[in-house]
Amino acid sequence: MIRRLSMFKKILVANRGEIACRIFRTAKSMGISTVAVYSDADKDALHVRMADESVYIGPSPSVESYLIIEKILDACKVSGADAVHPGYGFLSENKKFCEYLNAQGIAFIGPDSKAIESMGDKITSKLIALNAGVNTVPGYDDIIKDSDEAVKIAKDIGYPIMLKATAGGGGKGMRIAWNEKECQEGFIRATNEAISSFGDGRIFIEKYIQDPRHIEIQIMADSHGNMVYLGERECSIQRRHQKVIEEAPSPFLTKIDRKKMGEQAILLAKAVDYRSAGTVEFIVDSNKNFYFLEMNTRLQVEHPVTEMVTGLDLVELMIKVAAGQKLPLLQKDIQLQGWAIETRIYAEDPFQGFLPSVGRMERYIEPADNGVRIDSGIFEGGEVSIFYDPMISKLITYGSDRNQAIEKMSNALDSYYIRGVKNNISFLSALIIHPRFRSGNLTTNFINEEYPEGFSANVLSQADMAVFVVTASVIHVIKSIRRTLISDQLVGHEYSPLEKLVVITNNSAQEYQLLVSGSDQSYTVDLDGQLFTFETDWCIGEPLLRANINGREVVSQVDQIGQHIHLFHQGSKKEILVVSPRLAELNKHMLIKEKPDTSKLLVSPMPGLLVKLSVRVGDTVKSGQDIAVIEAMKMENNLCATNDGVVLNIPVSEGDSLAVGELIVEFE
C-alpha cells in the first residue's frame, strides 16, 4: 500500500543504536515527530533520549523485543505513529512485518513485501537476476539439506566454494571452504549462525571468486516508475565477511564501469518493481568482470559515504518515496563530488582475536574536525550490551580526493577517545595508513593476506617512534613547569628550561637521550642530534594532545598511569617513562613483576553462552585445536588451545551462561 496524501506526522523507528539516532535526525529536520522503541538493556540508550517519545517493548534479547512484530505494532498503536522506518537488521527485510503494517494502515518506509521476499532469498534473487540479464556467480541454486550433501555439491562445483545463508546478510551465515573438512564444519557453523541471526538455517553454495573486490551500487526508486543509481561503494576491506572500511567512489572503477554496473542494478530493480532505497552488491574480479551477489532491500550501514559524495539525504528520500512523492532528481542529475571513507568502530579487542567487549563507556570523546561525520548511538556513561551487535559508531571523513579523505580519517581515528571498553581503533588506524590500502590495491582477502597470523601489537610498525618520544618529553617538561610554578620557585624569575632527559619505552625496552628547551607552548627537542620544533597548547589532564611537530599536525591520546605516560597515535600505543639520567640508571635495578602463568587455563574472554564443548576430561589436545564455542553479540566465537596438554577439569557445561574470566577448561 502506497500513501499518496500528506507527509507523515509521526515516524516510529523499529530499531536501536546509531541507525535509530541517524533516522531521528532526518525526521526532525523534516518536522516529523519521532518514536523510539526500547528493551530493558536500552532503557537509557541515546536513541531513546533523542526521540520525542518512546515505547517499552520487552526483555533485552532481541528475539523477545526488537524481533517481535506484534510488539512493534502495539507500539505504533500506543504512540499513534503513521509510518515505520526499520533501519537495518532486525525486521528491516521481513515481508510479514511490511504486510502487517500495511494491513493496519501504517506505512512501511522501504520496499513492498514482494521485493523484500524475492530479494531476501538469495536463491530466488539469483534466478530473477539471471532472467533480468544480470551477471551471476556460478553455483548450486537449491537448498542443501545436510553437510554430506554440501560436500558432494562442493566437489562437483570445485573448491574453493562459499557457503551462504539464503536469508539475511551482514556476513552472518557465511563460510569459505577450501576442502571437504572445511566444507562440513563450515556448513554446520553457517547454519547455526543463520538460525541464530535470521531464524532461517537454509544454506546454498556458490563458487568462490578468488582475489575479488566487493563493490555495490546504491539505487533509489519511487512508486511512479522513476529509478536512479547513486554511484558505487567499495566495500572490499572485510573481516569474516563483514565490512570494515567502505568508500565512495571505488578507486578501481572507471565511469564506464560505473555505468555498466549501475544499469544492471536498475535492470534487477525493475524486475521486481522496486521502490525505496536498495543496494545491489557485486563481486568484481581483477579483470573487472562483475557478478551479482545479492540485493539488500533496506538502508545499508555504509550509506553515509554515498550521501557525502552525492549531497543527498537517503533517509529523507526514503521517507518522501514512502509518502508517495516522486523522486526530485533524474539520473543525469547525479554527480559524484570528492571522496568519502567510512570506518566501523566496534567494541571488540583486535589484539585478542577481535573478541567482543562489553561494559560502560567511562570516557567517550568523538572527533569534531571539518569533513568528519559521526553516526553514533552511544554516550559517555552508556553501556555496551552483550545482547546486540558490538558497533559503537560509524566514522566518516570527506575530502576533495582520496588522499585527503584518508588523511582526515587517520587524524580522526587518533582523535577518537574511548575508555571503558576495548575497541578496534588501533586496527582501523593500521589499515588506513597501510601502503597497500593507500595505493587502492584492495581485495576481500586484504586483511587475511596482510595479517596472516592475526592482528597484534607487533604489526604496528608504521607509526613514527620519534613522535612518541618527543611528545612524551614535552609532556614531562610541561609538568615540570607546572610543579615549579606551584612551589613558587619562579617568583620574580622567567623560566627557560633546558633539561637533559632519558625516555624509556616499555614496549621496546629502548632508551632515548634528549635535550629539551623552551616553554609557553613552544619547545625544541634535540633527539640524538635531530632537532624537532614542537608547538602545542595542551594542558595537563586533557586526553587529546594536538601539536605541530616540524610543520606536521599530529594528534596523540594521553593517559597518565602511575609514573608512565601512555600515548596512542596511528594505531600504536606506547608506555613511556621520562626521567633524569640518574633515575634512568636506578631504574635498571628495579625488579620486573612476573605475570601469573595462565597457560594451563582456558577462560571465557567475554560474557556469553557456551554453545559447544569439543573436549572431555582426559582428552589430549594440541595447540590450535578447537576447544569451545561461545555465542555473544549474535556471533559464534571459537576458542582454541594455546598449548599441547591433557584436559584435567571442565567445571562448565554446554548451555551455561559464562562471565568474563570464568574457567572453561583446566589442563594438567
Domains of the chain: 10-109 (3.40.50.20), 138-207 (3.30.1490.20), 211-337 (3.30.470.20), 345-462 (3.30.470.20), 465-587 (3.30.700.30), 601-667 (2.40.50.100)
Phi, psi of 519 (to 5 degrees): -170, 180
Average pLDDT, the chain: 91
Query: What confidence tier does 606 reach under pLDDT thresholds 50, 70, 90?
Result: confident
Of 193, 247, 294, 636, which one is the catalytic site residue?
A: 294
pLDDT in tens, 201-239: 899 898 888 889 999 999 999 999 999 999 999 999 999
d(CA 34, CA 26): 10
Query: What confidence tier does 624 reach under pLDDT thresholds 50, 70, 90?
Result: confident
Phi, psi of 581 (to 5 degrees): -55, -40
The continuous run of DSSP H or E covering 217 comes out as strand 213-221
Rg of the chain over CA atoms, in angstroms?
27
Residue 152 backbone class (left: φ over 0; alpha: ψ -120 to 50; beta: rest): alpha
% the chain with pLDDT above 90: 69
Residue type at position 235: C
Averaged pLDDT for residues 523-532: 91
% the chain with pLDDT above 70: 95
Residues 6+ apart with CB under 8 A from 568: 414, 426, 556, 557, 559
d(CA 210, CA 435): 22
Considering 54-58, 595-599, 605-609, 658-662, the range whose residues carry the highest mean pLDDT is 54-58
Amino acid 498: pLDDT: 58
**DSSP tag of 82:** S
On the question of pLDDT at 322 being above 90, the answer is yes
CA dihedral 104, 110, 112, 115 (to 10 degrees): -150
Task: Please give the grid coordinates belonging to residue 108.
Answer: 512501511
Q: Which residues pair with 559 in a beta bridge?
A: 566
CB atoms near residue 631 (< 10 Å): 17
218, HSE (Cβ side, Cα atoms, 13 Å): 30
pLDDT in tens, 282-313: 999 988 999 999 999 999 999 999 999 999 99
Residues 6+ apart with CB under 8 A from 176: 160, 161, 162, 163, 182, 186, 208
pLDDT in tens, 40-61: 999 999 999 999 999 999 999 9
pLDDT in tens, 540-591: 999 999 999 999 999 999 999 988 899 999 988 888 988 888 877 777 777 7
Amino acid 208: pLDDT: 87
Of 128-142, 163-177, 314-328, 600-614, give the lowest mean pLDDT range.
163-177
What are the CA-CA distances from residue 656 to residues 64, 356, 427, 608, 641 (Å)?
19, 18, 32, 9, 20
In this structure, are residues 498 and 484 in contact, taking their beta carbons and an 8 Å threshold? no
Residues 6+ apart with CB under 8 A from 600: 643, 645, 648, 666, 667, 668
Amino acid 494: pLDDT: 46
Averaged pLDDT for residues 183-209: 88
d(CA 347, CA 656): 23
On the question of pLDDT at 1 being above 60, the answer is no
Amino acid 582: pLDDT: 82
List the one residue out of 461, 451, 469, 569 whose CA is nearest residue 511: 469
On the question of pLDDT at 446 being above 70, the answer is yes
Amino acid 492: pLDDT: 44
Amino acid 495: pLDDT: 46
Q: Catalytic residue at 302?
A: no
